[in-house]
Structure 1
Amino acid sequence: MAHKFEIYKDKAGEYRVRFKYNSEVMFSTEGYSTKAGAQNAIDSIKKNGPNAPVEDNS
């Protein structure tokens, strides 16, 4: 699979999500206190991401 979401636990003990494409990390999230919170972030990105506007702040 070329792209995937990963849930992992950071050094502070929080759950985070990273999105990888061809093993390169494209983005990661803030920390969540529960794994369910991290999964909710993934679900929200999948639901809302395709229609999100692009904001160019350059």
Structure 2
Amino acid sequence: MAGRFIITKDKGGVFRFKLVAGNGQTLAVSGEYGSKAACVNGVEAVRRHATDAKVDDSALEPLQI
């Protein structure tokens, strides 16, 4: 099953989205949006830009494989 974006609205009227993998694991959570339209625009921005995104590793620890 493919991943999906889930848009939610909390009791305070704030919208957020999260990206969930096919296995149900949450991969990313957005910040707050004041409207559903703005939240949908955020989803679309991630969809457009994530395919070409580079990893900028500023972690202080080296990767242990």
TM-score, normalised to structure 1, is 0.88
Count of residues in correspondence between the two structures: 58
> Per-residue deviation at 1:10?
2.3
Q: Please, which runs of 5 or more residues in structure 2 have no aligned partner?
A: 60-65
Cα RMSD of the aligned pairs, angstroms, is 1.1
TM-fit CA distance, 1:40:
0.2
Q: Does 1:36 align with 2:55?
A: no
Q: TM-score, normalised by structure 2?
A: 0.80
Greater RCO, 1 or 2 (C-alpha within 8 Å, sep 6+):
1
Question: Tell me, which stretches of 5 or more residues in structure 1 are unaligned?
Answer: none
* Higher gyration radius (CA): 2
Identity of aligned residues (%): 29
